[in-house]
């Protein structure tokens, strides 16, 4: 028979089982924290009507969409979890309770140019809080608390949640009579991390921003100091603009409550340079960085938006949300060997029968499984060495060999595959022994 070469599309992550275990642990930890904050689960389809999914899209986004016809239906694959959320909330408005707090963890699709570390299929882990008409600013302070707890749960300590407010930036530009150029100026400022201060000034000059305005902008984005010092300096700028003052008051309140939510000073800061995209966010914005690995880029971003679903409904639905691009994050952390884990295997115990009648090995496995200990029995007829190698390769922590001697004596040896130590124990006490070793 002619064989087809088994291969996977470029840009599609497909992990080996030992990596998949780590990936799933990260996903489960994120989900655990999302639930800990009482967010409701949602699981919208991966396919949507193109007309619905692309009601808002355009330009670059639309080019990347996987779009096709099936019968008479024009279908697209979702490229994020926000548009499906907007559709969902608009569609089910009457049946939802507000504020509507939902999490969704799922795959999204973008037909980007394939390159290393860029994925066409990737997981997003989103939470959003949607208000009906209004949404308290305290929600903007709760989300950093979710971010903080997620990355602590993932085993990180040295990370910073950067917080800003788009109204402060917009108000500044209004006060400089640069409102029309705001989007363009923001786009340029956003690049300061990448291209540096000098290049930013040059780009601003090219855009006909006056020397005086550039000075004020640079003074603004270069405000330094502790969080409280930054806020004080912002107040001292004494900018007579309503939007600016509104944004500053929001920021002050968010910072106050971020502290109440228990985030340590070292894990957040006010960063006046972050703008997050160009016109979607309207208030608080977030980016999160691993301080020792800034090159990874922001690992969790989001912010406040005025109106989630204006393309589907007249209802005003303000929201605030964050998103973790898990596939890329996993890829980077895995590449840099930074994933923290306790368990590297699914099975905690491998039962290795060295006897023809499998009654006793199976009975032992039944017992372990019933006690909630993940257990595998090596059922194929192989030499002991092969079976031990299997346990080793799967990094299963405990192996129990069951042969004639063990059945006759009722005593087995529980081998700890990491230390190599063996402990004898009676068959009925295996569960107890494994629990003991795991605790120690």
Interface with its own copies in residues 116-155 (CB under 8 A): 120-121, 131, 134-136, 138-139, 142, 145, 149
**Residue with Cβ nearer its own copies (71 or 420):** 71
Applying CB under 8 A, which part among 67-75, 230-238, 242-250, 414-422 lies near its own copies? 67-75
Minimum gap (Å) between residue 41 Cβ and its own copies: 5
Site residues (CB under 8 A) for its own copies, limited to 252-311: 257, 260-262, 309-311
Query: Whole-number minimum distance, CB 403 to its own copies, in Å?
Result: 16
Least distance between its own copies and beta carbon 46 (Å): 7
Q: Would you give the binding string for its own copies spanning residues 198-237, x where CB under 8 A is met?
A: ----------------------------------------
Nearest to its own copies of 120, 167 (CB atom):
120
What is the spatial distance between Cα 279 and Cα 11, in angstroms, rounded to a whole number? 29
Out of 29, 78, 101, 304, name the contact with its own copies by CB under 8 A.
Answer: 101
Which is nearest to 44 in space by CA: 9, 10, 14, 83?
83
Read off the DSSP letter of residue 277: T
Residue 79 in 3-state DSSP?
coil
- Tell the smallest beta-carbon distance from residue 330 to its own copies (Å): 11
Residues 185, 186, 192: CA angle, nearest 5 degrees? 95
Per-position DSSP letters for 346-380, written without gaps between them: S-SEEEEEESS--HHHHHHHHHHHHTT--EEE--S
Distances (CA, A) of 405 to 354, 402, 408, 412, 413: 10, 8, 5, 9, 11
The mark string for 22-51 relative to its own copies (x by CB under 8 A, - otherwise) is -xx----------xxxxxxxxxxxxxxx-x
3-state SS assignment for residue 27 = helix
Q: Helices (H) and strands (E) in the chain — how many of each?
A: 17, 16
Q: Are 275 and 169 in contact (CB under 8 A)?
A: yes
Q: How many whole angstroms separate alpha carbon 19 and alpha carbon 32?
A: 20
Q: Find the part of the chain contacting its own copies (CB under 8 A) among 81-89, 157-165, 215-223, 240-248.
A: 81-89
Residue 3 in the binding site for its own copies (CB under 8 A)? yes
Tell me the backbone φ, ψ of residue 30, rounded to 5 degrees. -60, -45
Which neighbouring-strand residues pair with 322? 127, 302
Unique residue bearing structure tokens 């996903």: 27
Of the ranges 218-226, 240-248, 357-365, 410-418, which one interacts with its own copies (CB under 8 A)? 357-365
Total residues contacting its own copies (rule CB under 8 A)?
103
Question: Which one of residues 221, 338, 355, 358 is an interface residue with its own copies (CB under 8 A)?
Answer: 358
Smallest separation (angstroms) from its own copies to the CB of 182? 22
Interface residue with its own copies, options 210, 292, 359, 409 (CB under 8 A): 359
User: For its own copies, which stretch binds (CB under 8 A), given 181-189, 199-207, 356-364, 408-416?
Assistant: 356-364
The residue (of 227 and 313) whose beta carbon lies closer to its own copies is 313
Q: Exactly one of 61, 99, 338, 417 binds its own copies (CB under 8 A); which one?
A: 99
How many residues belong to the chain? 440
The minimum distance between CB 17 and its own copies, in angstroms, equals 4
Contact flags string 388-417 toward its own copies, x per CB under 8 A: --x--xx-x---------------------
Residues 332-351 as x/- pattern, contact with its own copies by CB under 8 A: --------------xx--x-
8 A C-beta contact, residue 289 and residue 159: yes
Q: Which of 236, 261, 234 is nearest to 247 (CA)?
A: 234
Among 75, 192, 221, 237, binds its own copies (CB under 8 A): 75
How far is Cα 101 from Cα 40, in angstroms, rounded to an integer?
Answer: 6
What's the rounded Cα separation, in Å, for the pair 340 and 152?
11
């Amino acid at each position: 028979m002619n064989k087809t070469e088994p291969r996977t599309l470029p840009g599609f992550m497909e992990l080996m089982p030992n990596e998949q275990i780590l990936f799933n642990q990260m996903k489960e930890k994120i989900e655990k924290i999302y639930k800990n904050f009482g967010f409701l689960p949602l699981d919208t389809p991966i396919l949507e009507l193109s007309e619905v999914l692309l009601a808002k899209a355009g330009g670059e986004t639309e080019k990347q969409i996987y779009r096709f016809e099936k019968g008479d239906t024009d279908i697209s694959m979702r490229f994020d979890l926000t548009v499906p959320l907007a559709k969902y909330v608009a569609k089910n408005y009457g049946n939802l309770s507000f504020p509507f707090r939902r999490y969704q963890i799922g795959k999204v699709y973008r037909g980007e140019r394939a390159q290393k570390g860029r994925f066409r299929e990737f997981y997003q882990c989103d939470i959003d809080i949607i208000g009906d008409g209004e949404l308290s600013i305290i929600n903007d302070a709760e989300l950093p608390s979710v971010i903080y707890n997620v990355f602590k749960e993932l085993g990180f300590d040295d990370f910073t949640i950067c917080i800003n407010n788009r109204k402060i930036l917009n108000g500044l530009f209004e006060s400089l009579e640069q409102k029309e150029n705001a989007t363009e100026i923001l786009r340029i400022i956003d690049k300061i991390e990448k291209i540096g201060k000098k290049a930013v000034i040059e780009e601003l000059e090219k855009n006909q921003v006056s020397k005086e305005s550039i000075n004020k902008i640079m003074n603004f984005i270069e405000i330094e100091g502790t969080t409280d010092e930054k806020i004080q300096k912002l107040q001292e700028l004494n900018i007579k603009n309503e939007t600016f003052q509104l944004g500053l008051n929001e920021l002050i309140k968010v910072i106050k409550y971020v502290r109440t939510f228990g985030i340590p000073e070292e894990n957040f800061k006010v960063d006046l340079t972050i703008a997050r995209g160009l016109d979607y966010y309207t208030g608080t914005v977030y980016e999160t960085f691993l301080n020792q690995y800034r090159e990874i880029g922001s690992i969790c971003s989001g912010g406040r938006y005025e109106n989630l679903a204006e393309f589907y409904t007249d209802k005003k639905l303000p929201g605030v949300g964050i998103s973790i691009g898990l596939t890329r994050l996993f890829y980077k952390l895995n590449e840099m060997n930074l994933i923290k884990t306790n368990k590297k295997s699914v099975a905690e115990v491998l039962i290795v029968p060295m006897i023809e009648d499998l009654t006793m090995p199976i009975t032992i496995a039944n017992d372990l499984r019933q006690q909630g200990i993940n257990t595998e029995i090596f059922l194929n007829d192989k030499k002991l060495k092969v079976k031990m190698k299997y346990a080793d390769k799967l990094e299963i922590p405990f192996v129990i060999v069951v042969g004639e001697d063990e059945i006759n004596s009722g005593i087995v040896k529980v081998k700890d595959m990491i230390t190599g130590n063996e402990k004898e124990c009676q068959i009925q006490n295996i569960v107890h022994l494994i629990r003991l070793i795991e605790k120690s």
